[in-house]
Amino acid sequence: MLEHFYKYTDIETAKLILINQSFRYSSPLKFNDPFDIQNELLSSFDLNKLPTVIQSVIETYVKNDFPIQQDNFGILMLREKATSQGYNKKIETMIYPYLQEVVNLIKDGISELNESWKTSLQESRVFCVTEGNDNLLMWAHYAKNHTGVVFQLATLAADGNILSAAEKVIYEEKPIAFYSIEELVKWILFNIEPDFSKVLYTSHAYQKSKHWEYENEWRVIDMREDKNKTEFYIDHKFESKQLQNIFFGCKTAPSNIKHLSSIARAINPSVGIYQSKKRPLEYALDFEKI
């Protein structure tokens, strides 16, 4: 856990944050990225092909002396019979209805997981922060072309502050999918259980596309029942000592700097106030105390 995080925002939102001494945790349904927590859990292959694949694996293990667990009585029995009688293809016709029922159970399981994801999506309120205050893209996107603000916030882990529950976002090429065909074959035939945490909502909610990797995001996901929770957000107060520093953009209006600095010092007299400056001959920012 980091000792502090940064929150980029435009100047009008920054005023509301300081005046109300609170940060807004938003519903993922309001996110600018429709892939962020809003995907459906899907299989990466055609589940209807699973019985045929399993039958092929059974035949391969029966015909070959691959090591298997001694409690896998079905394959061991078929292997023993095949030694003297050869592999009987009729077994595939016999077990196909059972395998089809397994497929139906898997489809039902995916549907139940999607219902759980949907409920969690509706209940979630998310607060997004990042690791650094000098990201040029984030200054442009979230701090409105360098006219806004970046807050430095202490996590206050020792105090049990909600920000200390933040977890790092993982960036991947593709969204989370249901178990692979290899994982399902191992589970069904050899009782090797896949990692169930892979398909939990929490794994899904902390993953984003690699397109967003530049953000170095951490997020707090609040799913608690709260009378103050509205359809799309909830506001959480922050402690005065949590407000460590404020960084104004290189294009922030002087009047806004003066106004917000006054409010911030009323919240925490020891807060540091800085303004960013373009570093000569580099695509980078420096911060001067003001």
Residue 40 confidence (pLDDT) above 90:
yes
pLDDT digits (tens, 9 = 90+) for 151-184: 999 999 999 999 999 999 999 999 999 999 999 9
Lowest mean pLDDT among 17-21, 188-192, 273-277: 188-192
Scanning 21-72, the segments in alpha helix (DSSP H) are: 50-63
Q: What are the structural domain ranges in the chain?
A: 4-37+126-169+206-289
Q: What is the pLDDT of residue 44?
A: 95
Is 221 exposed, middle or buried (CB count within 10 Å of its CB: 0-12, 13-18, 19+)?
buried
pTM, 2 dp: 0.88
Mean pLDDT of the chain: 93
Q: What is the pLDDT of residues 211-243, one digit of tens each?
A: 999 999 999 999 988 888 888 999 999 999 999
> What pLDDT is attached to residue 89?
74
**Angle, in degrees to the nearest 10, between helices 181-190 and 50-63:** 60
DSSP 267: H
What's the pLDDT score for residue 60?
85
* pLDDT computed for residue 79 by the predictor: 74
- Long-range pairs for 56-62: beta carbons < 8 A, 24 or more residues apart: 57/185, 57/189, 58/91, 58/92, 58/95, 58/189, 59/87, 59/92, 61/189, 62/87
Q: Which pLDDT does position 83 carry in this prediction?
A: 67
d(CA 241, CA 260): 17
pLDDT digits (tens, 9 = 90+) for 71-100: 676 777 777 677 667 767 777 788 889 999
Q: Residues for the chain: how many in total?
A: 290
Residues 138 and 15: their CA atoms lie apart, in Å, by 19
- In this predicted structure, the answer to whether residue 244 has a pLDDT above a threshold of 80 is yes
Confidence at residue 75, expressed as pLDDT on a 0 to 100 scale: 77
Q: How confident is the model at residue 125 (pLDDT cuts 50, 70, 90)?
A: very high
